[in-house]
Amino acid sequence: MHDVIIFLGPSLPVPDAVKILSAQYRPPVRRVDLPDVIRVHPRVVGIIDGVFFEDAAVGHREVLEVIKNGIVVVGASSMGALRAAELEPFGMIGIGEVFRMYRDGEVESDDEVALMCDPVTHMALSEALVNIRVTLRHGIETGFFTKDEADLIINTGRSLWYPDRS
């Protein structure tokens, strides 16, 4: 049994993740995945990636139930960052830039982290809008883009259905 269970998908290949942290890696979290976690009772659950549209997204109450059972829940990067920003007042721990962006109100929509991924390999087939934002921010800081150019790109990206963003 692992003390740490992490739900991971397109954010990072599992072989790369294992080099960083020894844990039990599971596919992106879906609604109904967390009751099994409570039964297994690891010390920590990490939510990185989760499903949005192709399956029901993990619910707030499910995460709260894990916390209520004495399991530390940490979120980052994608679905984890979104849920952590929403549930931080109730004990979920958020880490990373995407979490900060949600927590500080820089981004609000779950659409910011939505992307298409291969259901078997979990490889990303589109790009999350939040990733495009961070790239554009770097482009502005280095003088590659003007603020107006970056705004145009973000507004165009926002107008696209998430599977069409690349």
**Domain residue spans of the chain:** 4-164
- Cα-based angle 7, 9, 15 (whole degrees, multiple of 5): 90
Question: Could you tell me which CATH class the domain 4-164 is placed in?
Answer: alpha beta
- 7-19 per-position pLDDT tens digit: 999 999 999 999 9
Q: What are phi and psi of 50, to 5 degrees?
A: -150, 165
Q: Say what the pTM is.
A: 0.92
d(CA 19, CA 12): 11
Q: Is the per-residue pLDDT at 56 higher than 90? A: no
Q: 133 near 144, Cβ under 8 Å? A: no
In this structure, what is the dihedral angle of CA atoms 78, 84, 85, 89, given to the nearest 10 degrees?
Answer: 180
